[in-house]
Chain A
């Protein structure tokens, strides 16, 4: 029974840990990078050409923000180019943002670890990632040169001064993305008030498809996508995590399966004479088989809820402050994972585990029960 309790508790906790990691990855991706829903020019994603812009941005922002489930909305102008310091150059994506609107959507201001967030006051301010700053060997207040093409294909060089350095849990993002004011970038790209992207943060992610439908209705001819459609790695990560969770559950259920077989075989052997006596006095094979299966099933029925409770308590305790994996934070950041994991598990996972345990228990009982009905009463009653 203890084996089932521990097995179930371990399954529940490991699944919650994996789900917590997945949630961490998705929320980091949504929070720092892509939001729940994005709107683009329909051809922009194919070529990332700066000329594929959307116009009438303010009107779109107003309409979208008036929708019921929308928490925040912001537009972005995007350009790909090269950033150069006195010592190095890198290829990067330049994101032109409205600092105030962006704060509400991606909370980028909270990721600033040195200097300050973008503001309206300074001239050509730029926010760069910590990893990029290290590669370029620059710090706050240092000057950088951005080189990119405007909408006419002309090469533009512009000087920006670092006002802040940010750090997210996504190393690749930090190394490859810089933030400038949208107004500064638009001026250089000659885009007036246009933008390449509108990012929408929702109040409730559960209604994402409904919200997508409403936003699509507001913007005929534009491409509206959810974060799973925009970021294939989220889908990939989700499916890998799902597979991993099922794989781990299968391994634990297999261990449970053989554990139960072993335990019940021992129980049958220990009661060999008792079973022989029962068969001698008239208990038929169907009853003996059912008795062993029922006994095992009852053990599972009692142990599984206890194991789930133990697992649930472990989740509650660890979810309060999270599990600190900062010792591995560098490696985890490579995959966009936070260094603190908050285990969490949906209620349907408990039902899945309960069903898996009960099926495993019944299947595992079959072999000992078969051994029991194969015993010969005449031999069994003489067993010492």
Chain B
């Protein structure tokens, strides 16, 4: 069964003034444990598609199901709950809370889920170990490099044990070494913890590691290649 199933997704910005058709009818199925990259030129609709899959934005038309549930009809508050339970986000600009330590940044997602302290502590330790940041547990974002911040962001995205992780240009601000390390970590999590990853990216290094590459252009899928 597909983790994500999108049928004829359309998205038009400014429909009443100057309409911009970001997605023109996208059909997409993503299975569990996929390591998928959505690629395409700027303005092709990658980020819009990712936002709609993640419940951050609503399609103008079409149907999107996540875990068998139609999310296009959910209210704002239901969408927030949905994101909390099913999705982890990794952003291009990391978006860590500057006044929190690495531990606190990971922990607060679990606080929203009302997990016990013991459970939170164990999960933080486990995740920081998985992303190789155990020693930086008490460091604030300003004390970490870009690569380290993004690793904390990945750990945060995994904290709630989501069904899948959406990563929007996760390596755009990273150097080669950091990119390589981060991709190793994510590939490892994908293999060992069976986490589904969907990337939106321009980065060839990410595309090279993906097992499925979906290419978008002008709001439609022009190719969908399984590399396995």
Contact = CB atoms under 8 A, between A and B. Distances in A.
Interface residues of B, number: 23
B80 A283 contact: yes
B95 A277 contact: yes
B112 A377 contact: no
A285 B76 contact: yes
A278 B98 CA distance: 13
B91 A281 contact: no
Interface string B194-215: 0000000000000000000000
A282 B160 contact: yes
A282 B80 contact: yes
A76 interface: no
A281 B56 contact: no
Interface residues of A, number: 16
Nearest to B99: A274
Interface in A269-288: 273-274, 276-285, 287
Nearest to A285: B77
Contacts of B81: 282, 284
A276 B85 CA distance: 17
A1 interface: no
A332 interface: no
Contacts of B74: none
Contact of B56 (A278, A284, A287, A378): A378
Contact of A284 (B57, B77, B85, B156): B77
A306 interface: no
B95 A282 contact: no
B67 to A, nearest CB: 16
Q: Which of B54, B76, B160 has most A Cβ within 10 Å?
A: B76
A88 B93 CA distance: 91
Nearest to B78: A284
Contact of B97 (A274, A280, A282, A378): A274
A238 B98 CA distance: 53
A381 interface: yes
A281 B91 CA distance: 11
B124 to A, nearest CB: 15
Q: Which of B56, B76, B91, B112 has most A Cβ within 10 Å?
A: B56
Contacts of A280: 54, 56, 83, 89
Contacts of B80: 279, 282-285
Contacts of B161: none
Contacts of A377: 56
Given A273-B95, A274-B97, A378 B57 contact: yes
Q: Which of B80, B91, B97 has most A Cβ within 10 Å?
A: B80
B92 to A, nearest CB: 9
Contact of A281 (B57, B98, B109): B109
Q: Which of A273, A277, A280, A285 has most B Cβ within 10 Å?
A: A280
A273 B81 CA distance: 19
A137 to B, nearest CB: 78
Contacts of A283: 80, 112
Interface string A242-260: 0000000000000000000
A278 B112 CA distance: 10
A50 B140 CA distance: 88
Q: Which of A280, A281, A377 has most B Cβ within 10 Å?
A: A281
Interface of A: 273-274, 276-285, 287, 377-378, 381
Given A280-B56, A282-B83, A381-B93, 17 more contacts: A273-B93, A273-B95, A277-B95, A279-B80, A280-B54, A280-B83, A280-B89, A281-B83, A281-B84, A281-B88, A281-B89, A282-B85, A283-B112, A284-B77, A285-B80, A377-B56, A378-B56
